[in-house]
Amino acid sequence: MSNNQSSIERIADLKAQIAAIEQGAMQELMDRRNTLSRELAAVDAEIARLTGKPVEARKTRVSAPKAAGKSPSLQDLKGIIAAAPEKTLNIRKEGYDLRNIKTLAQANPQLLQLGGKGAWPTVKLLK
């Protein structure tokens, strides 16, 4: 049983690492897209300056890059939640990555329970 439990914890840790890598890749692609959009706008402005014709105004949405939340491993998360009041952690308020913690909670339903309402999810340590 101990070997099985450690295998489950290992799988949960790997899933959390995959989620963190995916999030980093998405952030990198979004940053590249924003950089290329700004560069394209500069090229359009230079073309307009050289030709004397105004460039059609494009509405571009540029958002500030979101800061990645903290992505603790299962062992770290257990320690953090154990120290929290009522063994419950407000995920977003404390700055943790919701996707990572959801993955850990789904992989360990006997250990972690998701809760909270709406945009303020919580995670509770069961054992």
Q: Could you tell me the residue ranges of all domains in the chain?
A: 2-49+62-125
pLDDT of residue 93: 86
d(CA 54, CA 47) in angstroms, rounded, equals 9
The residues, ordered by sequence, that sit 6+ positions from 23 with a Cβ below 8 Å of its Cβ are 68, 71, 97, 99
Does the pLDDT value for residue 119 go beyond 90? no
pLDDT of residue 74: 87
Segment 99-124 mean pLDDT? 87
Burial (CB count within 10 angstroms: exposed 0-12, middle 13-18, buried 19+), residue 12: buried
d(CA 104, CA 111) in angstroms, rounded, equals 9
Question: pLDDT tens, 39-67?
Answer: 998 998 888 888 888 877 666 666 666 66
Does the pLDDT value for residue 1 go beyond 60? no
pLDDT of residue 32: 94
pTM beyond 0.75: the answer is no
Does the pLDDT value for residue 24 go beyond 80? yes
